[in-house]
Amino acid sequence: LISGEWTGTMNLTESQAGSDVGALSSRAEDNGDGTYAVSGQKIYISWGDNDFAGNVCHLVLARLPGAPAGTKGISLFLVPKFIPDENGEPGQRNGVSVVSLEHKMGLHGSPTAVMQYDNATGWIVGREGGGMAAMFTMMNNAR
């Protein structure tokens, strides 16, 4: 990401939750090996997939089992399009796919996707339940 060889996305919004991020239904299950299985669907993802970069790293908000309701129970996960191999290079394809592209009146040069995560391998970023704080820090720094 730092070198620009890979790109990243921020995945917050879900169709059934709208602007109430605390009502998200995406889930993450601990795989017991330091990774998590992330499942759910996100909408309004700018550049959700592309061939311009070697990998696309999705930052996905999801809830762990037993997490509190609302935003306090949301964690942040790094879910790459390709799982890095032992050398850190893009390896096998992860359980991440584009369901559809949004049809917009403007900004046609920037595709906006609906993303699907099907037991996609991811890594937690920060602490459990710290997803909203981490996401807002990134959003504010990106402005």
Task: Report the pLDDT value the prediction gives residue 116, as an integer from 0 to 100.
Answer: 98
Question: What is the enclosing helix (H) or strand (E) of 121?
Answer: strand 112-125
**Which residue type is seen at 33?**
D
Query: Which domains does the chain show, CATH number per domain?
Result: 6-142 (2.40.110.20)
Task: Report the pLDDT value the prediction gives residue 143, as an integer from 0 to 100.
Answer: 65
Please give the average pLDDT of every successive group of 10 residues along the chain, which has 143 residues: 89 90 96 98 92 93 97 97 94 96 77 95 97 91 74
Contact at 8 Å (CB) between 59 and 125?
yes
User: Tokens in use for 101?
Assistant: 């592209």
3 state DSSP class of 141: helix
Task: Report the pLDDT value the prediction gives residue 142, as an integer from 0 to 100.
Answer: 75
